[in-house]
Amino acid sequence: MDSESRQSLILDYTRHRGRVEVVALADELGVATETIRRDLRVLADRRLVKRVHGGAIPLESAAFESGVDYRSRVDIAQKRRIAAATATLLHGAETVYLDEGFTPRLVAEELADRELTVVTSSLLAAEALADSDGVTVLLLGGRMRGRTLATVGHWTLEMLGMLVIDLAVLGTNAISAEHGLTTPDPAVAAVKQQAIKRSRRSVLVAAHSKFGSSSFCRFAEVADFETIVTGTELPVAEAQEMQALGPSVLRV
For residues 190, 194, 195 and 201, what is the CA-based torsion angle, rounded to 10 degrees?
130
Please name each of the domains of the chain with its CATH number: 3-58 (1.10.10.10), 68-251 (3.40.50.1360)
Distance CA 32, CA 43 (A): 17
Find the length of the chain: 252
pLDDT for res 150: 97
Closest by CA to 233, choosing from 82, 107, 105, is 82
Using only the alpha carbons of the chain, give its radius of gyration.
Answer: 19
Q: What is the dihedral of CA 71, 73, 75, 78, to 10 degrees?
A: 100
Do the Cβ atoms of 84 and 110 come closer than 8 Å?
A: yes
Q: Give residue 63's pLDDT.
A: 64
What pTM was estimated for this model as a whole? Answer: 0.85
Cβ pair 49, 58 in contact under 8 A: yes
Q: By the 8 A CB rule, do 149 and 108 touch?
A: no
Residue 115: is its pLDDT beyond 60? yes
pLDDT of residue 16: 83
Question: What CA–CA distance (Å, rounded) separates 225 from 132?
Answer: 28
pLDDT digit string (tens) for 160-180? 999 999 999 999 999 999 999
Give dist(CA 118, CA 138) in Å, integer.
6
